[in-house]
Amino acid sequence: MNEGARDVFKQFVTNCRLLPAFLSDAFECHRRFFPAVVRYRSLSQSGFFVFYTPEGIHQRMIGRILRAMSGFYWVETADGVLECRLRGRLKRIEQQSEIAVIGDLVEVVVVSPGQGAIEAVQERTTRLSRVAVGSRGHKEDLIVANVDLVIVVVALANPEFHPRMLDRYLLICAHNNLEARIVASKADLVSADYAAHAMAPYAQIGYETQTMSIHSGEGLDVIKAWLPGRISVVTGKSGVGKSSLLNAINPALALSVGAVSTTLNKGRHTTTMAQLIPLGNGGYVADTPGIREIALWNIPHDQLEYGFREFEPYLGECRFSDCVHKNEPDCAIRTAVATGSISQVRYESYIRLLAGEE
The domain that holds 163 is classified in CATH as: 3.40.50.300
With 0-12 / 13-18 / 19 or more C-beta atoms within 10 angstroms meaning exposed / middle / buried, residue 202 is buried
Residues 279-289, mean pLDDT to the nearest whole number: 83
Residues 30-36, mean pLDDT to the nearest whole number: 41
In a domain, 126, yes or no: no
What is the spatial distance between Cα 333 and Cα 313, in angstroms, rounded to a whole number? 9
Question: Are 258 and 189 in a shared domain?
Answer: yes
Domain end call among 241, 263, 287: 287
Question: Are 153 and 206 in a shared domain?
Answer: yes
| Angle of helix 163-175 versus helix 344-354 axis, rounded to 10 | 70
Beta strands in 91-178 (DSSP E): 105-112, 115-121, 127-131, 140-145, 149-155
In a domain, 311, yes or no: yes
Is the pTM of the predicted complex or chain greater than 0.85?
no
Domain end call among 121, 141, 167: 121
DSSP 2: -
pLDDT exceeds 80 at position 271: no
**Structure confidence at residue 57 (pLDDT):** 64
Residues 203-223, mean pLDDT to the nearest whole number: 96
Owning domain of residue 95: 60-121
Domains: count for the chain: 4
Q: Closest Cα partner for 268 from 244, 239, 226?
A: 239
Residues 36-41, mean pLDDT to the nearest whole number: 33
**Structure confidence at residue 5 (pLDDT):** 62
What is the spatial distance between Cα 255 and Cα 99, in angstroms, rounded to a whole number? 27
| Backbone torsions φ then ψ of 244, nearest 5 degrees | -65, -40
| Backbone torsions φ then ψ of 240, nearest 5 degrees | -90, -10
In a domain, 296, yes or no: no
Question: Are 213 and 165 in a shared domain?
Answer: yes
Question: Are 170 and 144 in a shared domain?
Answer: yes
Question: Are 46 and 79 in a shared domain?
Answer: no
- How many C-beta atoms surround the C-beta of residue 253 within 10 A? 15
Q: Which residue has the higher pLDDT, 93 or 316?
A: 316
